[in-house]
Amino acid sequence: MAVGKPSAYGRPSLIRLVRRHGAYLLVLAIAAAGLVVVASDHFKRGTTLFAGAICVAAVLRAVLPNRAAGWLRVRARVVDVLMLAALGMTTLIAALVVPPPS
């Protein structure tokens, strides 16, 4: 399969998928890192990192054109940005206010 061209079955190559959905993959990687940190008994750090991933998603959705937003594009840009920002800020506040489990 040639790099950058569709395969014989009409599916896009890995490079085209990363280009199209790179913003989503970045957010997913940050969120996964936050979950790993939570799993290693660092509740506040991991939850803060997870909230940061959601805030990064809001910023990327706000600045990227629709074509480059990939899977971050769900509804209208304004709705997506407002919902992601609200969820990110709420998660961040909860991470900072809620005491870690003992």
Q: In the predicted model, is pLDDT for residue 10 greater than 90?
A: no
pTM: 0.81
Q: What is the pLDDT of residue 80?
A: 95
CB neighbour list of residue 96: distance below 8 Å, 6 or more residues apart: 44, 48
pLDDT on residue 7: 56
- Per residue in 28-66, pLDDT tens? 999 999 999 999 989 899 999 999 999 999 999 999 988
pLDDT of residue 19: 78
Distance (Å, whole) CA 84 – CA 95:
16
CA 81 to CA 17: how far, in whole Å? 23
